[in-house]
Chain A
Amino acid sequence: MSDLLAARSQMGVSLAFHIIFAVVGIAMPVMMVVAERRWQVTGHAIYLDLAQRWAKGTAILFAVGAVSGTVLSFELGLLWPEFMRFAGPIIGMPFSLEGFAFFTEAIFLGIYLYGWDRISPGAHLAAGGIVALSGAASGVFVVVANAWMNAPAGFELVNGQAVNVDPLAAMANPAALPQAIHMTLAAYAATGFAVAGIHALLLLKDPANAFHRRALAIALIVGAPAAVLQPISGDLSARHLARHQPVKLAAAEALFQTRAGAPLTLGGWPDMDRRETRFAIDIPSGLSLLAFHDPGAVVKGLDAAPRDEWPNVPAVHLAFQLMVALGTYLALVALWAGWRAWRGADLAHDRWLLRAIALATPLGFIAVETGWMVTELGRQPWVIYGVLKTADAVTPMPGLIVPFLTFTLLYCFLGVIVAWLLYRQILRSPEIPEWRGFYMPVDSRGSRKGEGA
């Protein structure tokens, strides 16, 4: 394994690991706050139990997310010092803002987790709200920095040096808005469906369980609208790519030749030698229609770039197809659930719907991972699109396979532990017998019956 590949692999593993925790850290606090608010309004102790369980889950996931995020901020320099030397002044700004947002998140999460008995209920709920807001803001700032790598702006290149640096213009790069929207919706959709899926699975065994019924409802409230909106945001992203990152779109769609009326390619395997995609279903003019909202529009193919500036086309194409398929599945299930709920059906007794939701548990996260593979692999061989090659950004230190393997092992180990702890702490059904039925307490607000369950 070359040092460049080892560095890329270490960065990839670190990002793939961290992103799960980052995504959960954005969406989980929303569910926790909704549950707490429901408790304050209704007085049903079951909501308090939900809020506290989700808070515990958030505590575990946030801690791992915080430390793995620290690793990433250092790895920018440990693995890509030449990238940071060039990019730091231009795009460090959103990272600094992210630092503040993350600081706010950590402070108020501490207050939320440990402050149940120390501050007023209103202040406690507000602390949870601030955690949810600053979590979303951190995510947006980091994605804005990544967007700049895809659509660099805010400087001029003179003899390989950046001059006239304008960090605000860099933040306002054309990829920033589509990427930020797409990622934020992805966070809510993936987390919402993961939580909903787990409770759907438990409801299949025990449809009357009041605890899981309410958990399912809140998780769907967070996940389903985002999943429905995501295809619209995906369309925005595709149109951005067609204009600003044509090679990435060409790789994602495995479009080898530039042409008018380009077809939408579903599935298939890009044959790099013959420069054609085999075994695919083509929808005539579909890509032109999606990318430019015009069936006759010219879409650039891979032939628009020299061969040595192509990304790994099969990987990008496969990841893209997978992301789109999974996103579509989530959107359809969300619509189905919404329609059933609107018709007044009891979702917990719709066994086919429950099965469909249970199946979705890991799919949102797989869509997030494959989406990032499209973004990152699709930009190669560039680290800053059209400006700096990844190979020129890597550290001169040899032997990078050692840190790559070390961090990979560390993350595999932590992943197993976290999964086991979540199972042990969060997913077990509550011990309170009456909640196993259609529990609906009559006692009024302030009842803390379920506390400590």
Chain B
Amino acid sequence: MTLADILAAVVFVALNAYAVLGGADFGGGVWALLAGGLRKERQRDLIAHAIGPVWEANHVWLILAIVLLFTGFPAAFARLGILLHIPLSLVLIGIVLRGSAFTFWRYGGEADAQQRRWGVTFAVASLITPVLLGITVGAVASGAVSGPRAPDTVFFAVYVAPWLTPFALSVGLFALVAFAFLAAVYLTLEAEDTELREDFRRRALSAGVALLGAALLVLALSGVGAPRVRAGLILAPWAVPLHLVTGVAAVAALVALWQRRYGAARVAAAALVSLILWGWGLSQYPYILPPDLTVTGAAAPAATLRLLVGALALGAVVLLPSLYYLFRVFKGRPTA
């Protein structure tokens, strides 16, 4: 393990945390959009109540990943900024609208028609942003964010083609379903009465099945779309154990939901999404942007990496207890 490897792993941990925490906040927005039945307003209130205290802290995982990426792997950041300009700009618009609209919705005062429109804006932005995030991940995994091109290449080929592919779109769909699944599972623990809990249990179970479908679609398209990742996921020595553990997490999440063991379901669901992410990361290692930019090749000078890893250690001393406190205050076991 070089310093660059350690730092790449930390960036990936931050992305992982963003996916299982911030992702669920997006998923909450999806369920706010799909709220229905007798308990429509109560579902939305529960979602807002669950997201409110934590979404900003959860969002910072993305910022942390970005600043670590541009400090530690500037070459990768520069290339992502150029070739994925369009989807990343759209992600940003989604992030801005989601965050502002949520706050306007919850802090706007009177519950009138205008406030409800902010609720809708929040929900729609929560639906679109994960798809775009997934598309950028899909573009990276497919190896389309690759080296220098001839200056006369047409706009579409350089700035659109890398991410507008069936494979990248399928990863976008997968991200959306995964976030919705996580949110539904977490919301079963947030709900304080049985009816609401059952609402989200049913949603979690259907999202879990949909997630399986989305995963199969990604897998089917990866043969053409992302051969390197596919090869890694099949041939690497760690592939079989990883698939086994991932499969166990998937089954455990669904079984726990079925048996109404929500605490266990939360752990299994978060583990499932994390394992899938790490499968992607490991399968494209040692490349940070396949097919040509490696972790080592993109890394900053050693002096920067050493300091950065040191700062991370120090930062963690402040951050982890604070996070623990935040989640203990707001996400402690409900009294039911």
Determine the chain B residues whose CB is within 8 A of the CB of A79 once the complex forms: 81
Task: Determine the interface band of chain B, counting residues with CB < 8 A from chain A.
Answer: 35 or more
Determine the chain B residues whose CB is within 8 A of the CB of A75 once the complex forms: 92
Instruction: Check A74 for interface membership: any CB of B closer than 8 A.
Output: yes
How many contacts between A and B, using CB within 8 angstroms? Answer: 217
Q: Are B71 and A93 in contact (CB under 8 A)?
A: yes
Q: Are A107 and B322 in contact (CB under 8 A)?
A: yes
Determine the chain A residues whose CB is within 8 A of the CB of B155 once the complex forms: 398-399
Determine the chain B residues whose CB is within 8 A of the CB of A110 once the complex forms: 52-54, 56-57, 326, 330
Q: Are A69 and B63 in contact (CB under 8 A)?
A: yes
Contact flags (1/0) for A387-414 with B, using CB distance below 8 Å?
Answer: 0000000011111000100110010001
Instruction: Check A96 for interface membership: any CB of B closer than 8 A.
Output: yes
Closest residue on chain B to residue A66 by CB atoms? B56
What are 19 A-B pairs at a CB distance below 8 A?
Answer: A60-B107, A67-B96, A68-B96, A70-B63, A73-B63, A74-B92, A77-B80, A77-B81, A88-B70, A89-B71, A92-B304, A100-B319, A103-B60, A107-B322, A110-B54, A110-B326, A113-B52, A166-B303, A167-B307
Instruction: Check B34 for interface membership: any CB of A closer than 8 A.
Output: no
Choose from B56, B66, B85, B93 the contact partner of A73 (Cβ within 8 Å).
B66
A80–B85 CA distance with the chains assembled, in angstroms: 11
Answer whether A77 and B70 are a contact pair too, CB < 8 Å, given A59-B107, A395-B81: yes
* Closest CB in chain B relative to A415 CB, distance in Å: 11
Instruction: Check B181 for interface membership: any CB of A closer than 8 A.
Output: no
Choose from A63, A84, A87, A104 the contact partner of B99 (Cβ within 8 Å).
A63
Binding site for B on A (CB under 8 A): 56, 59-60, 62-64, 66-71, 73-82, 84-90, 92-93, 95-100, 102-104, 106-111, 113-115, 118-119, 163, 165-168, 395-399, 403, 406-407, 410, 414, 417, 421, 424-425
Q: Are B104 and A410 in contact (CB under 8 A)?
A: no
A63–B64 CA distance with the chains assembled, in angstroms: 17
Q: Are B159 and A70 in contact (CB under 8 A)?
A: no
Q: Are B109 and A103 in contact (CB under 8 A)?
A: no
Q: Are B77 and A63 in contact (CB under 8 A)?
A: no
A391–B65 CA distance with the chains assembled, in angstroms: 28
Q: Are B107 and A114 in contact (CB under 8 A)?
A: no
A163–B301 CA distance with the chains assembled, in angstroms: 8
Choose from B66, B79, B107 the contact partner of A74 (Cβ within 8 Å).
B66
Contact flags (1/0) for B50-85 with A, using CB distance below 8 Å?
Answer: 001110110110111011101110110111111001
Choose from B53, B99, B312 the contact partner of A66 (Cβ within 8 Å).
B99
Answer whether A115 and B329 are a contact pair too, CB < 8 Å, given A85-B78, A95-B70: yes
Determine the chain A residues whose CB is within 8 A of the CB of B103 once the complex forms: 59-60, 63-64
Instruction: Check B89 for interface membership: any CB of A closer than 8 A.
Output: yes
Q: Are B108 and A421 in contact (CB under 8 A)?
A: yes
Q: Are B301 and A165 in contact (CB under 8 A)?
A: yes
Choose from B75, B300, B323 the contact partner of A107 (Cβ within 8 Å).
B323
Contact flags (1/0) for B81-123 with A, using CB distance below 8 Å?
Answer: 1100100110111011111101110011100000000000000
Answer whether A104 and B318 are a contact pair too, CB < 8 Å, given A78-B89, A165-B304: yes
Choose from A60, A167, A406, A421 the contact partner of B93 (Cβ within 8 Å).
A406
* Closest CB in chain A relative to B235 CB, distance in Å: 33
Determine the chain A residues whose CB is within 8 A of the CB of B68 once the complex forms: 96, 99
Q: Are A67 and B71 in contact (CB under 8 A)?
A: no
Closest residue on chain A to residue B94 by CB atoms? A67
* Closest CB in chain B relative to A430 CB, distance in Å: 14
Q: Are A396 and B329 in contact (CB under 8 A)?
A: no
Closest residue on chain A to residue B316 by CB atoms? A100
Binding site for A on B (CB under 8 A): 52-54, 56-57, 59-60, 62-64, 66-68, 70-72, 74-75, 77-82, 85, 88-89, 91-93, 95-100, 102-104, 107-109, 151, 155, 158-159, 300-301, 303-304, 307-308, 311-312, 315, 318-319, 322-323, 325-326, 329-330
Choose among B59, B74, B98, B108 the residue with the greatest number of A CB atoms under 10 Å from its CB: B74
Q: Are B315 and A81 in contact (CB under 8 A)?
A: no
Q: Are B102 and A114 in contact (CB under 8 A)?
A: no
Closest residue on chain A to residue B56 by CB atoms? A106
* Closest CB in chain A relative to B295 CB, distance in Å: 15
* Closest CB in chain A relative to B164 CB, distance in Å: 15
A217–B108 CA distance with the chains assembled, in angstroms: 27
* Closest CB in chain B relative to A9 CB, distance in Å: 15
Q: Are B85 and A78 in contact (CB under 8 A)?
A: yes
Q: Are A70 and B326 in contact (CB under 8 A)?
A: no
Choose among B52, B100, B311, B315 the residue with the greatest number of A CB atoms under 10 Å from its CB: B100
* Closest CB in chain B relative to A7 CB, distance in Å: 11
Q: Are B311 and A93 in contact (CB under 8 A)?
A: yes
Determine the chain B residues whose CB is within 8 A of the CB of A396 once the complex forms: 82, 151
Determine the chain A residues whose CB is within 8 A of the CB of B319 once the complex forms: 100, 103-104
Answer whether A93 and B304 are a contact pair too, CB < 8 Å, given A67-B100, A100-B319, A107-B322: yes
Answer whether A92 and B85 are a contact pair too, CB < 8 Å, given A108-B322, A111-B325: no
Closest residue on chain A to residue B14 by CB atoms? A99
Q: Are B303 and A397 in contact (CB under 8 A)?
A: no
Q: Are A67 and B311 in contact (CB under 8 A)?
A: no
Determine the chain A residues whose CB is within 8 A of the CB of B307 once the complex forms: 93, 167-168
* Closest CB in chain A relative to B144 CB, distance in Å: 16
* Closest CB in chain B relative to A267 CB, distance in Å: 39
Answer whether A92 and B100 are a contact pair too, CB < 8 Å, given A118-B329, A421-B108: no
Q: Are A113 and B104 in contact (CB under 8 A)?
A: no
Choose among B54, B81, B326 the residue with the greatest number of A CB atoms under 10 Å from its CB: B81
Q: Are A424 and B311 in contact (CB under 8 A)?
A: no
Answer whether A64 and B56 are a contact pair too, CB < 8 Å, given A111-B329, A425-B108: no
Answer whether A96 and B67 are a contact pair too, CB < 8 Å, given A63-B103, A77-B77, A102-B60: yes
